[in-house]
Amino acid sequence: MILSCSIEMKSDMHFDYIILGSGAAGLSLAHRMASDRYFDNKSIAIIDQDKKSRNDRTWCFWESNEGYFDSIVKKRWEEIQFYSKTLDKRQKIDPYQYKMISGLDFYNHTIPFIKQHANFTFIHDEIISVTESPQNAIVKTSSNNYTANLVLKSYPSVEKLNPKEHIYVDQHFKGFFIETNKPVFEPSCATFMDFRIDQKDDARFLYVLPESETKALVEVALFSNSLLSKEDYNLILTDYIKDFLKIEEYSILEEEFGIIPMTTYAFKKHNTKHVFHIGTGGGIVKASSGFAFTRIQRHSTQLINCMKNGSPLANSYDGLHGRHTFYDKIMLHAMLENGTAGEDIFTDLFAKKTAAQIFKFLDHDTSFVEDIGIFKAPPMLPFTKSFFSVFGK
Ligand SMILES: Cc1cc2nc3c(=O)[nH]c(=O)nc-3n(C[C@H](O)[C@H](O)[C@H](O)COP(=O)(O)OP(=O)(O)OC[C@H]3O[C@@H](n4cnc5c(N)ncnc54)[C@H](O)[C@@H]3O)c2cc1C
C-alpha cells in the first residue's frame, strides 16, 4: 500500500533517494533531510513493512549537551547505578545526562513532520530485494518495483552471520514497563547495568529506568546466539523484580523485545554505487555494547554533510570506526570466550573509572593516552589473550 505525501506520484516510481526501513536510522536521516532546504527538490521514498504505530523499543543514551531529539526526551537522569556481584556503585555522570526516548514518541514525532513535506512518500510494504543496474538501484517490494539514484538501507544485506566465521553474537532485549501501587522507584537514578543475576555462560545484565516513583522500564539484555523461550525471558524479569527490586505487586503496562547483531563485521563492504548502508545495516551498532542511538545521530549528520558537499558517502563513517573498532573486537572476543568476562570487564571499569570517562571512551571521544588508562582498568588476562587472538584478523 502506498501512502503518498506527494500530490502526484511519478508514474515510473523513480525517486532520487529511497530509504529502506523507517526505524531509528531511516527516520533520523529522513528528519534531517526534511529539515534541510537542500533536499527540497529531491524526491524521497521511505519504505517499511511496519507502520511504526507500536512502542517497540526504548532508547537510552548519554549526551553532554542538547541533542537533536531533546524535545521528545521522556526522562533524563544525572545519576546512574552500577551493580555486579562485587560492586555497588552509584555516581553522578556530569557533564553527561542519561536520556530516554520511547520508540512510539520518536515515530510520532518524526513521521508526521516528514509527511508535511510534499517531496516525501511513505510506502508500507515488505521489501523483497534490492538490486542494481548501471543507472539505478531497484527495490522490489511485495507489490511494486521502485528505482532510485541512491538507496539508503538500514537493515543488513547479509543473512545472519555465522558466529564460527566472524566475531558475532546476538544481543537480545526483553523489557517490562511496570507500574506499582506504592512508590518503590527512585526517579533520580537509573540502573545502568546490573550483573548480579546468574550469567549462565552468557553476558546478562538488567537495567532499570524509573520514570517516576511508581513506573519503570525493567529490561534484560543478554548476549547469546541461542534465543530463550518467551517464558524464560519473562522469568528472568519476574525473578529480578521480586528478588532484587523487592517488588511483589505490579502490573505490566507494556512489553518490548528485540535482537541486534553485536559484531565488528564490515557491513560497509556491501555498499555499492547506488546502495549505501546506514543504521544496523551499516554496522553503526557499537559492537561491544549495542548502543546505537547516538551513533545513528552522528552518522546521519555526517551523511547529510557528505551529500551536500559531494564528498564520498563512505566518509560519513569516519569517527564511528578507526581504532575503537579494534577495541570493540577485543572486548567482544573476550566476552565470547568467557561467559563472565562481560561482568568482570564492566565491574573493573566502573570500579576504577568514572562513568564520564567510560562514556567518553564508548563514544570514541578519548585520546590514545586516555584509551590506555581505560585499558589498564579491566582484568589483564582475558584482554591480553583476546588482543593476540584478534590482532591482524
Ligand atoms: C529492544 C531494543 C532496545 C534497544 N535499546 C537501545 C538503547 O537503549 N540505546 C541504544 O543506543 N540502542 C538501543 N538499541 C539498539 C539500536 O539503537 C536499535 O536497534 C535501533 O532501532 C537501530 O536502528 P535501525 O534503524 O538500524 O533499525 P530499526 O530501528 O530496527 O529499523 C529497521 C526497520 O527496517 C524495517 N525492515 C527490516 N526489514 C524489512 C523488510 N524486508 N521490508 C520492509 N521493512 C523492513 C523494520 O520494520 C524496521 O522498522 C536497542 C535495540 C532493541 C531491539
pLDDT digits (tens, 9 = 90+) for 161-220: 888 888 899 999 999 999 999 999 999 999 999 999 998 888 899 999 999 999 999 999
pLDDT of residue 340: 82
Whole-number Å distance, alpha carbon 23 to ligand 1 midpoint, is 5
From the list 104, 157, 388, 376, the residue with the least C-alpha distance to 268 is: 157
> So what's the pLDDT on residue 393?
56
Instruction: Check if 126 has its Cβ closer than 6 Å to any atom of ligand 1.
Output: yes
pLDDT at residue 87, rounded to an integer: 97
What's the 255 CA to ligand 1 centre distance in angstroms?
16
Query: What confidence score (pLDDT) does residue 322 get?
Result: 79
- Taking alpha carbons only, the member of 71, 50, 19 closest to residue 300 is 19
Minimal-distance CA residue to ligand 1 atom 21: 24
pTM for this entry: 0.93
State the distance from the centre of ligand 1 to the C-alpha of 354, rounded, in angstroms.
29
Domains and CATH numbers, the chain: 2-54+103-158+265-317 (3.50.50.60), 168-262 (3.30.9.10), 340-390 (no CATH)
- Please give the number of the atom of ligand 1 that sits closest to the Cα of 292: 11
The dihedral region occupied by 54, where left means phi > 0, alpha psi between -120 and 50, and beta the remainder, is beta
Q: How far apart are CA 378 and CA 161, in angstroms?
A: 28
Q: Which residues of the chain have pLDDT under 50?
A: 1-11
Structure confidence at residue 383 (pLDDT)? 61
Query: For 197, left (φ over 0), alpha (ψ -120 to 50), or beta?
Result: beta
